[in-house]
């Protein structure tokens, strides 16, 4: 499958030519043999005449890519959907609900402001339930630093170590390395409100952030930065979390005044209202789909470290877990 950015483009035409004619024939033959039906397994039998096009947002971290391609491969191979993978930043992807360019976001990390706007006010999106994974965001150091500086994970001690983290990009202060600027982050407010002698510097991507932590551990270089779980890389380098002031309900309500740790995110799915109301096979699949951080990390590692295409990695997991896939198709 090809990737698009909020537009199906030529790749969709190719998929149409590949799928439409044979699926139309199958649909006609099955319709002659079967009485009407309503559940997702019967929808699978009649192919794309029931499913149609499924526009699936893919946000820019590999765990989400694992989510998307497992769901997308099931939608394509089991339900006959024409799947468009829409690669787009997580916050921008919500805009696609109103335009019809995005049917589903599979891994939402909070975004209460966007939920308020698109779900409660505009009513163009709906919460489609949890994915079965809790997300954690925080500040981390490589294991060697915790061993050498045992109190470095106490945020109150960070200023005494700030000089260790200075770089050419950090403006004479310690560097706090973040990932993609589009990720959920309160770090600039945290640095300011906790009166820390640090500046936030963005690595630019998840891959760059991972490589920075890998190098820091291998070469014993000082590094403190933003990271999160689930993330397959934590099985390679078990980063150590810094203890920031404890999160309490509402402590992050005003973005500019945040002075507490991140909450635990109960990751959920969000779908367009139109997609949900159509109640087609792809929506039923999204609603039923849940999995574990272990499964996500495995597929993500196959993509990132083992060099598999997202499609092949997803299909490998699908082939190895038929019972779980069948539960999504109930």
> Using one digit for the tens of pLDDT, what is the confidence trace for 121-160?
999 999 999 999 999 999 999 999 999 999 999 999 999 9
Pairing state between β 3-4 and 82-87: parallel
Domain count, the chain: 2
* pLDDT at residue number 182: 87
pLDDT band (50, 70, 90) for residue 96:
very high
CATH number of the domain that residue 25 is part of: 3.40.190.10
CATH number of the domain that residue 149 is part of: 3.40.190.100
Tell whether 22 and 79 lie within a shared domain.
Answer: yes
Tell whether 199 and 310 lie within a shared domain.
Answer: no
Q: What is the pTM of this model?
A: 0.81
Tell whether 85 and 189 lie within a shared domain.
Answer: no
* pLDDT at residue number 14: 38
pLDDT band (50, 70, 90) for residue 32:
very low
- Indicate the residue among 257, 279, 299 that finishes a domain: 257
* pLDDT at residue number 87: 95
Q: Is residue 156, in this structure, part of any structural domain at all?
A: yes
Residue 295 in 3-state DSSP?
Answer: helix
Tell whether 146 and 203 lie within a shared domain.
Answer: yes
- Indicate the residue among 213, 236, 257 that finishes a domain: 257
282 lies in which domain range? Answer: 3-133+268-328
Tell whether 32 and 60 lie within a shared domain.
Answer: yes
Q: Shortest CA distance to 297 belongs to which of 208, 235, 241?
A: 235
pLDDT band (50, 70, 90) for residue 50:
confident
Interval 252-268 mean pLDDT: 96
Helices (H) and strands (E) in the chain, counts: 16, 10
């Amino acid at each position: 499958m090809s990737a698009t950015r909020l537009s199906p483009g030529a790749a969709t035409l190719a998929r149409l030519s590949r799928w439409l004619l044979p699926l139309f024939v199958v649909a006609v033959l099955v319709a002659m043999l079967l009485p009407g039906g309503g559940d997702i397994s019967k929808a699978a039998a009649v192919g794309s005449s029931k499913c149609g096009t499924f526009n699936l947002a893919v946000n820019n971290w590999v765990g989400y890519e694992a989510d998307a391609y497992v769901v997308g491969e099931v939608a394509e191979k089991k339900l006959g959907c024409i799947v468009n993978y829409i690669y787009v930043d997580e916050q921008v992807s919500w805009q696609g609900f109103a335009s019809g360019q995005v049917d589903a976001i599979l891994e939402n990390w909070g975004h209460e402001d966007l939920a308020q706007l698109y779900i409660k006010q505009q009513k163009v999106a709906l919460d489609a339930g949890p994915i079965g994974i809790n997300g954690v965001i925080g500040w981390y150091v490589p294991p060697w630093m915790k061993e050498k500086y045992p109190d470095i994970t106490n945020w109150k001690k960070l200023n005494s170590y700030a000089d260790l983290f200075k770089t050419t990009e950090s403006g004479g202060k310690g560097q706090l390395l973040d990932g993609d600027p589009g990720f959920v982050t309160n770090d600039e407010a945290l640095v300011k409100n906790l009166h820390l002698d640090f500046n936030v510097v963005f690595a630019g991507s998840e891959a760059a952030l991972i490589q920075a932590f890998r190098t820091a551990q291998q070469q014993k270089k000082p590094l403190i930065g933003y990271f999160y779980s689930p993330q397959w890389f934590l099985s390679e380098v078990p980063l150590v979390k810094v203890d920031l002031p404890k999160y309490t309900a509402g402590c992050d309500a005003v973005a500019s005044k945040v002075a507490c740790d991140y909450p635990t995110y109960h990751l959920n799915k969000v779908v367009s209202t139109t997609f949900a109301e159509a109640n087609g096979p792809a929506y039923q699949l999204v609603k039923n789909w849940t999995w574990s951080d272990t499964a996500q990390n495995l597929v993500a590692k196959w993509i990132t470290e083992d060099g598999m295409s997202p499609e092949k990695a997803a299909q490998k997991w699908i082939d190895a877990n038929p019972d779980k896939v069948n539960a999504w198709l109930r």
